[in-house]
Structures are given as C-alpha cells and as structure tokens.
Chain A
Amino acid sequence: MNIAGHLSYWFTIFLTIAGLYIVIARGNLVKKLVGLAIFQTSVYLLYIAPGKLIGGTAPVISEQFKLYSNPLPHVLILTAIVVGVATLALGLALVVRIKEAYGSIEEDEILKQDENPPSNPR
C-alpha cells in the first residue's frame, strides 16, 4: 500500500479518531466540544485535500493555465465550517446554561446531582 502517497488521508484519519476519542473519553463538557470541533474539522480535510491538484490553479479561463483544481469542495466546506461554528456556539451556550443551573461542567458531577435532586427542584 502506498502510505506516503496517501499522507493527507492519514492526517485526516488521525484527527477524526483523536477528536472522537476526546468526545468519548473526557467528562468536561467544554473539552468534549473541543473534541467535537476537531472531529468536524478533520472532515473538512477529507473534502479539501482531494480537490487540490499539484500545479493546478484556480479555474480561470486563460491560455496559460491548463490544469485546474476543483473549487467545489472549498465551497462545500465553507458551508460546513459555518455549520460547525453554529454547532460549537450553540454547544458552548448550552454549557453556560448548564453551569448556571448545576454550578459545574463536569459530566459525572452533574449526573450525580440529578440522582439526588436538591430540596427545591425547579
């Protein structure tokens, strides 16, 4: 198997797994979101890397340029970045609300609080 030729895929896979691992292994709600962001970002690479041809230029109609890179993956990923930012912002906003309601952002402490609810559950 041509390992060096698929270098960008190896980076992508490493980031995907690392991000997913953080989401699963960490109990801190903010750290989980960081993992989620890494996981989402790795997918951007999956789209962008194959769109680049070595020596390829932007698709400009000109006599000088014969080799073009596909611009579509970039456009798709611009959209995906917006979605990723929105998800992260909403996730962090939820963490702020959780911190206000529970006084903690550690998953195990929060779950423990709900097992024995305080005297005045809202």
Chain B
Amino acid sequence: MAPHFPILQVVLPLIAAPVMVLMRRGAVAWLLAVAVSWAALVMSLALLAQVADGGVISYAIGNWPPPWGIEYRIDRINAFLLVLVSLIASVVVIYSRASVAAEVPREQHYLFYTMYALCLAGLLGITSTGDGFNLFVFLEISSLSSYVLIALGRDRRALMASYQYLIMGTIGATFIVIGVGLLYLMTGTLNLADMAARLPGVNDARPVLAALAFLTVGICLKLALFPLHLWLPNAYAYAPSVVTAFLAATATKVSVYVLLRFYYSVFGESTVFAALPMRDILLVLSLAAMFIASTVAIFQDNVKRMFAYSSVAQIGYITLGLSFDSATGLTAGIVHLFNHALTKAALFLLLGGVALRLGGVRFENIGGIARVMPFTAFGIVLGGLSLIGVPATVGFVSKWYLVLAALESGAWWIAFLIVLSSLLAVVYVWRVVEVAYFREPDATVAKLKEAPLEMLIPSWLMIAACIYFGLDSALTVGGASQAAAALLQGVR
C-alpha cells in the first residue's frame, strides 16, 4: 500500500466527501473527517521520511507513464507542505466538533464536513500533483469548497465576503489556466517537469513571459499578496472560526508553494529573476504589505478582522524572503510559511473559543475576558508574541533568517524595515492585551466560562508547537533550507 500513498492521501478525503453526503449524519461525518485527516497526516509523514534523503517519488496515475499520464511527484518541498496541511487539518478537525455545533445550523453539519473534506483533498492535490492542468482542477476544488465554508458563517456579511472571494478567486484561477495554456501551447506538454525541460528550447520567448505574468498575477491573487488581498479580510472575519483557522493556515500557504513551484521548477530562477525585475516588484509589494496591512490592522474594531489584516502583512514577510532570491532568503520564506501557519492557526482557534462563549470577538465586547478565560487569553498573548517575533517563539526564528538574508544581500535598510514593521505588530497585539487584561469585565463577560477542553487542547497544541519550534528550530529550518537548496538547483 505504501507505494500508493501519493494518490491515496488525496483520494481518501475525496471519496469521504460523497460518503458523508449519503450518510446525512453530522456525527458520522465528523468521525470520517477525523479519520481521513489523520490518515493523510500519517501518509504525508511517511512520504516526508521517504524523500528525506533527497529522493523524488514519481507516481504515475493509472500506470500511464509521464509525461502522457498525470504524474504525482513528491520531493522535499511538497512533502514538507503536505505534512503542514495535514497536520493543521488533523488538529483543526478535533477542535471543529464543538465549534461547528455552536456556529453552524445542525442540519448543515454533515455538509460542513463534506466541504471540509473536499477542501482538504483539493489542497493536498495541488501540493502533490506534477501536472499543470491537474493543479488547476484541484485549485478549483479547494476554492469552491472554501467559498461554501466561508458562506456558512453566521453573519450575513459572510455571504458577501464569500461572493467577493468567488469573483476574485475565479479571476485568479482563470489567469492561472491562461498561463498554463500558453505554456502548453509553447511546449506541447502539461507535465511540469517535462515543461521545464522543454522551455529552454522554445524559440519565441514572448508567450512564455506572458505566461509568467499571468501565472504570477493569478497565484498572487490566491495567496493574497498586497494589493490583491482585498478578498481576504472579510472572508476570514465572517467565516466560521474553524474555517478561518484552517484556511488561514493552509490555503494561502499552498498558493505560495505553487508560486515557488512555477518560479523555480518550471521557469527556472534565471528566467524569473535574472531577466525580469521580479525581485524589485516582489520587494516593493512585500514591504507595502508589511507596512500598510499592519497599519490597517491597528484600526480594526473586530479582533478576527485585525488578525486577518495581520495575515496579509505576514504573507508580505514570506514573499519578502522570496524576493532576495538567495538560499537564505528562500529558507526564511519557507520557514516563515510554516511558522506563520502555526501561529495563525493557534490564534484563530483561540479566538474561536471566545466566539463560542461570547458570540463575537469585537473589541468593545471582550473587555476583561482574561479574568474569565485565562488560558485562552494567555494563549492569544503567546501567539501575539510570535507574530511580533519575540525570542523563544517561531516568529523570532523567521524574522532572524529574514534579517540574515537582508544583511547577506547587502540591503541593511530592509533589515531595519523588518524590525520597524514588527513594531506595528506590537501595537496591534498590545491592543488585544490591553482590552483583555486591563479592562473591567462587563456583566455579560463576567458570567462566561473558559472554552471547553476539546477546543482548548488543540489550540494549545498549536501554541506549544509555536514555542517548541521557536526554541528548537533544527527541524523546521533544516527542512526549509534543504527544500530551498533543492529549489535553487532546479531539481524537480
């Protein structure tokens, strides 16, 4: 069975989804969702162990040999991503039972888990496939299911947020198809590895550059790079808590992976960075994201929306790492991708606990919440410290490597800007601390209880991971630097 892991981890959630619809029982659907998430985690860990020595697993679907058939290719970087996605999914799914019970109408529970399984299948599929068109199909599977998940939010604004995400997401996905289509026209293949081998032989460079432009814009829409992030704040703010935590930690990260895959494995570093001013474009947009989104975050009146804007800023740090176009920069980007996923998952899960007890997370309502929900509030403080980048949290590890990469490239002013933008994070995190700890709880808040254990434990597991990987970064930085080295060699 082990040779079939690359496809099984995608197919299991994909099959589980229609089964859930047929069963029509929320509790059964939840059990199935737990089973497929944990199965995917076990399989992705096994895959990561297999490719740890630098090998590549090539799986020919239906035994049609690539490049004619669809190929799944697992190497270090996407094995790393698979573990991240399935790890977050496995933790979030445990948490989801109590949270979904409170936030989604009972008769829609089984549909919620169906969409969740489809979204997971889509994300894992994007990550493992080695075929350009298959990638688009999985992208749409994950996107369409996430639109539905967002629209399940209690607030009616969730509907509008989902609609806007649908419009922007479809434009992004269509741009990606145009890009893949142009590459297909020029090379005659859809297999990404085959495409990479044939691209240097293409005589007319202009369609290839057009493909690069379409793919860049399309993928950046999906990963919410400033200024293409407009769909993100509302989608995160009004979606059910579970959905926000899951999507914030996985969807944008998988899109970053797609960008890396196209830049380094298909076009090659020399086409993207040497021939075009991509470095400068990414640098300017990343800095804009870090400063503008952080500043906007400070002025939000909804904690969830504030952390959504903070996500836009943190994505800026990831793309900033890429813009250095060096081994250290790429390592920093990939490490931050992992670290930010942990931090944001933890924060949104903890906020979900507050939303469960209080019904919302607006600043005006959560005054003094730390008195009644001490574990939740302290977890949010630790997660906030990680966003700022305080030593002994994962946020520090990422910022350390980002600053190293900046200094290595000789741009000390970027290192200065990284530290300066962290101060903006201090301001918005402090707002939460001030409201939660130093205000008198009002009558509603005073009657609240701590979040239930089945939600608190998964959230704190994430916080513990933030601290653990902050103290011992050998595993994450080691994995990221290996992945970065593999990408820079153009190994695919």
Instruction: State the A residues within 8 Å of B (CB).
Output: 16, 20, 23, 29, 32, 36, 39-40, 43, 46-47, 50, 76, 79-80, 83, 86-87, 90-91, 94-95, 97-98, 101-102, 110-111, 114, 121-122
Contact = CB atoms under 8 A, between A and B. Distances in A.
B279 interface: no
Interface stretch (B3-11, B161-169, B320-328, B460-468): B161-169
Given A36-B171, A76-B133, A80-B136, 6 more contacts: A32-B167, A43-B177, A47-B184, A83-B136, A97-B159, A101-B156
Contacts of B184: 47
Contact of A114 (B136, B147, B157, B182): B157
A8 B185 CA distance: 14
Contacts of B136: 80, 83
A101 B167 CA distance: 19
Interface string B24-46: 00000000000000000000000
A114 B252 CA distance: 27
Contact of A90 (B133, B147, B171, B174): B147
Contact of B140 (A50, A86, A101): A86
Nearest to B185: A50
Contact of B163 (A76, A83, A94): A94
A76 B135 CA distance: 12
A97 B155 contact: no
Contacts of A23: 167, 171
B171 A20 contact: yes
B235 to A, nearest CB: 13
Contact of A36 (B148, B167, B181, B185): B167
7 contacts: A16-B178, A29-B163, A43-B177, A80-B177, A87-B140, A90-B166, A98-B160
9 A-B pairs with least C-beta separation: A101-B156, A83-B140, A94-B163, A98-B159, A97-B159, A47-B181, A46-B181, A87-B170, A91-B166
B167 A83 contact: no
A43 B174 contact: yes
A43 B211 CA distance: 13
Nearest to A40: B174
B211 to A, nearest CB: 11
Given A40-B170, A87-B140, A122 B185 contact: no
A87 B160 contact: no
A43 B178 contact: yes
Given A97-B151, A98-B163, A101-B156, A83 B181 contact: no
A119 to B, nearest CB: 14
A23 B190 CA distance: 29
A48 B178 CA distance: 12
Given A32-B167, A36-B167, A39-B174, A90 B144 contact: yes
B84 to A, nearest CB: 26
B137 A43 contact: no
Contact of A94 (B140, B147, B171): B147
B97 interface: no
B154 interface: yes
B227 to A, nearest CB: 15
B156 A79 contact: no
B313 to A, nearest CB: 24
- Most B Cβ at <10 Å: residue of A50, A86, A101, A122: A101
Contact of A102 (B137, B156, B170): B156
A90 B137 contact: no
B294 to A, nearest CB: 25
Nearest to A102: B156
A73 B154 CA distance: 42
B181 A43 contact: yes
B170 A36 contact: yes
Contacts of B147: 90, 94
A23 B159 CA distance: 18
Contacts of B159: 94, 97-98, 101
Contacts of B174: 39-40, 43
B178 A46 contact: yes
A94 B150 CA distance: 11
B378 to A, nearest CB: 31
Interface in B171-219: 171, 174, 177-178, 181-182, 184-185, 190
